[in-house]
Amino acid sequence: MMAAPNPSPHAPPRPRHVAIIMDGNGRWARQRSRPRTFGHRAGVEALRRTVEAAGDLGVPYLTVFGFSTENWTRPPDEVSALLDLLRLYVDRDLDRLVAEGVRVRVIGARDGLAADILDMIERAEARTRSNQALNLTIAFNYGGRQEIVRAARAFAEDAAAGRVEPPALTPDLFAQYLDTRDLPPLDLVIRTSGEVRLSNFLLWQAAYAEFVFLDVLWPDFDRAALAGALDEYASRERRFGAVEAV
């Protein structure tokens, strides 16, 4: 991974925090008359390319939707294959991520996860904690509504214990109870495959994010696709609910 270039004074604005809904593995495989697991393997390669490209293009925070709470309802063999791919990605790439200065975080519910999955998550986070070149967050066993419920429950527990007064609750304070408390505000959400929905991903965080929906299937996503989405972001005017300046 190359060091991010210093932006020139006239460079278009770049998002600091980009999130990607990696969609289309199954359709990509079906177009090739292959099983869905074949598409998921190709999707891992797309993730590798994207992490590399994000660093090269000057995106310091990248969050990807790796495995949702709803994915557990898929056929058991597909769930098993997805978990195996997560293991494969971490086992194969962790040394490289460490060497290239990538910090790995995993957000989502950890209750009930298999011991080896928890160990893998903790190992990846511990080994990369001091890295600063790129912040890679993987949403695993994650759902946006579930995250908000966990945050509300944690605040209620603090209030019941007298650690915080309920009237003190503000959006900024509530955000400190979310899984993303250590991340900057979300600037851009990219979804591949032509679908136009959030699918329970970063619901709170996406309140004022920009959205770019691409027809490309995730296994075909590459540096050019990411650069195009960043260019689209740069063409937008973000007003955060305010009126356009005259």
Point out the residues that are catalytic.
23, 71
d(C-alpha 125, C-alpha 97), whole Å: 11
Instruction: Report the 10 Å Cβ neighbour count for 102.
Output: 24
d(C-alpha 140, C-alpha 124), whole Å: 13
Q: Under DSSP, is residue 123 helix (H, G, I), strand (E, B) or coil?
A: helix
> Six-digit token pair at 225?
């696709």
Q: Under DSSP, is residue 140 helix (H, G, I), strand (E, B) or coil?
A: strand
Beta-sheet pairing, 134-142 with 61-68: parallel
d(C-alpha 148, C-alpha 153), whole Å: 9
